[in-house]
């Protein structure tokens, strides 16, 4: 009998412990962090490979070569974009960790109004600062999403030309890199439908793979935007809870002080009455 009671108490204790652990998790921040990491990883990985595929297409089919020296050409711009991708991957990994840690601290503050660091002025300032950063990075990812849609649109046009190349009649359609700003006006890098290089480009895997990689990078940027919106909602809610918790703590402090003063006054009067009686 005693063994059954011990087993039931241990099971009840494990259940309460699991419920406490699950309840203390910042689910909003956790989901937003996972979504942010997935979006950033998809954007950085697919974007990097898509840029490498673009370099291959420019070199093999449009015969574009690197400019000598430190001239700013399309290849240099692509290298700069790759370094920006490296910075985004590293920076948002750290930023996601900071937001997740803040979510754990704030969730503890909500569960316990008398926490130490969580509802202090420093904790509220940290939440406000992260809220500002989240809004700033939300705007950044909106810009990144808009910028990523440009190569998707260009590659979609090229891919559509390849799909309909056999149906084109009359004048040939041409791709001129000068229209995209990839080369200077004096250079002529043109590829027209019906040419051998155009057909090879359409039949190669580079074009189809690069196009779909840019589409995946666009999807990753969109996922990062959604994750930043989740973080904004979670941080705004945490800020409101922390503000209410701070006010409640001040109210409880004032109430305890008043009760202590009333207790002291009552004790003093009791002593005075006792002295007067004796």
pTM for this prediction: 0.77
Is residue 45 assigned to a domain? yes
Is residue 89 assigned to a domain? yes
Helices 27-60 and 121-163, packing angle to 10 deg: 40
pLDDT at position 161 over 90: no
- Domain of residue 53, residue span: 29-250
- Residues facing residue 192 across a β-bridge: 174
Is residue 274 assigned to a domain? no
Is residue 24 assigned to a domain? no
The confidence score (pLDDT) of residue 234 equals 86
Q: What average pLDDT does range 238-250 have in this prediction?
A: 68
Q: What average pLDDT does range 98-108 have in this prediction?
A: 76
Q: Is 89 within 8 Å of 40 (Cβ atoms)?
A: yes
Share of the chain above pLDDT 90, in %: 30
Is residue 277 assigned to a domain? no
Is residue 144 assigned to a domain? yes
- What integer best gives the mean pLDDT of the chain? 78
Is residue 7 assigned to a domain? no
- B/e letters for 85-102, b = 16+ CB within 10 Å, e = fewer, are beebbeebeebbeebbeb
Q: Is 103 within 8 Å of 238 (Cβ atoms)?
A: yes
Is residue 226 assigned to a domain? yes
| Tally of domains in the chain | 1
Measured between alpha carbons, how far is 36 from 61 in angstroms, rounded to an integer? 36
Measured between alpha carbons, how far is 109 from 18 in angstroms, rounded to an integer? 19
């Amino acid at each position: 009998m005693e063994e059954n009671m011990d087993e039931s108490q241990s099971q009840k204790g494990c259940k309460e412990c699991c419920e406490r652990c699950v309840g203390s998790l910042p689910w909003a921040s956790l989901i937003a962090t996972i979504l942010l990491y997935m979006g950033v990883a998809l954007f950085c990985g697919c974007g990097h490979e898509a840029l490498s595929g673009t370099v291959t297409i420019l070199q093999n089919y449009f015969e574009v070569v690197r400019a000598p020296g430190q001239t700013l050409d399309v290849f240099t711009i692509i290298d700069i974009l790759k370094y920006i991708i490296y910075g985004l991957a590293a920076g948002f990994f750290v930023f996601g960790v900071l937001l997740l840690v803040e979510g754990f601290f704030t969730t503890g503050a909500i569960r316990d109004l008398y926490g130490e660091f969580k509802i202090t002025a420093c904790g509220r300032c940290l939440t406000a600062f992260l809220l500002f950063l989240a809004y700033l990075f939300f705007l950044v990812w909106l810009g990144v999403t808009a910028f990523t849609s440009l190569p998707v649109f260009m590659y979609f046009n090229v891919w559509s030309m390849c799909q309909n190349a056999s149906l084109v009649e009359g004048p040939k359609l041409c791709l001129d890199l000068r229209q995209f700003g990839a080369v200077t006006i004096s250079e002529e890098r043109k590829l027209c439908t019906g040419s051998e290089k155009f057909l090879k480009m359409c039949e190669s895997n580079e074009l189809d793979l690069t196009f779909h990689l840019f589409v995946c990078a666009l999807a990753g940027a969109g996922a990062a935007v959604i994750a930043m919106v989740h973080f904004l909602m979670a941080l705004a809610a945490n800020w409101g809870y922390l503000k209410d918790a701070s006010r409640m703590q001040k109210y409880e402090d004032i109430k305890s002080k008043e009760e202590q003063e009333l207790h002291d006054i009552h004790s003093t009067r009791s002593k005075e009455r006792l002295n007067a009686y004796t």
